[in-house]
Homo-oligomer: A and B are copies of this chain.
Amino acid sequence: MSKDAVVLLSGGLDSTTVAAMALAEGYTLHALSFQYGQRHQAELTACRRVATALGIKDHRIAQIDLRLFGGSALTADIAVPKDREPVQDIPITYVPGRNTIFLSYALAFAEVTGSEAIFIGVNSVDYSGYPDCRPEYIAAFQKVADLATRHTVTGHPLQIKAPIQYMNKGEIIKTGLALGVDYSMTITCYDADGEGRACGRCDSCKLRLAGFAANGIKDPAPYR
Contacts and interface: CB of A to CB of B under 8 A. Distances in A.
Interface residues of A, number: 44
A217 interface: no
Contact of A150 (B70, B96, B136, B141): B96
Contacts of A105: 97, 101
Interface stretch (A20-28, A107-115, A206-214): A107-115
A134 interface: yes
A1 to B, nearest CB: 21
A66 interface: yes
Interface string A49-73: 0000000000010111110111100
Contact of A144 (B69, B112, B141): B141
Given A68-B62, A97-B105, A137-B144, A89 B131 contact: no
A147 interface: yes
Interface string A94-122: 11111111011101110110000000000
